Structure 1
Amino acid sequence: MKIDYVFLINKISDACEILKFAMEKDPLLLVNNKEAVLKLTDLNFWLINELSKPIYNNEHYKEIMSKCINLNVMLNELGRE
């Protein structure tokens, strides 16, 4: 399976930017969208696990993992609010 790493990096970056904006604008983001936030958390966790497999380790690996971890930190912050 061929993976478009640049596309994936851009999508994760977009998710981080949108989530950051939403968190700033809506302090009740988690309360009002708990199911969507939990799904995003699950998908991000799945992606981190998948990309941790040695078959995906390439030149884009560190950047993708960095974006996933950044998104994970944001989701954790959202869960603590």
Structure 2
Amino acid sequence: MVVYGDLGSGNCYKVKLLLSLLNINHRWIHVDILKKDTQTADFLSLNPNGKIPVLVLEDGRVLSESNAILGYVAEGTRFIPTDPFIKAKMYQ
């Protein structure tokens, strides 16, 4: 699992924090948003929207948007409630 992000971004930081809390092995690749690293052809091939964070799974599938990444990573852990109402409140 590879994450592209900039820890100066709150959205990237929360992904890094959850991965650390869950002890999920990952590789972090720093993307400097101030140097417009998100606008390079290589980065845009991962996320055409040019935004971070981006998660690349071992099989090559790509997720962007921090909340989508958090939901994927947290599925089946203590961070996603099993009760439907409490889960809905989490998303609220």
TM-score w.r.t. length of structure 1: 0.30
| Higher RCO structure (Cα 8 Å, ≥6 apart) | 1
Q: Is the helix fraction higher in 1 or 2? A: 1
Q: Is the strand fraction higher in 1 or 2? A: 2
TM-score w.r.t. length of structure 2: 0.27
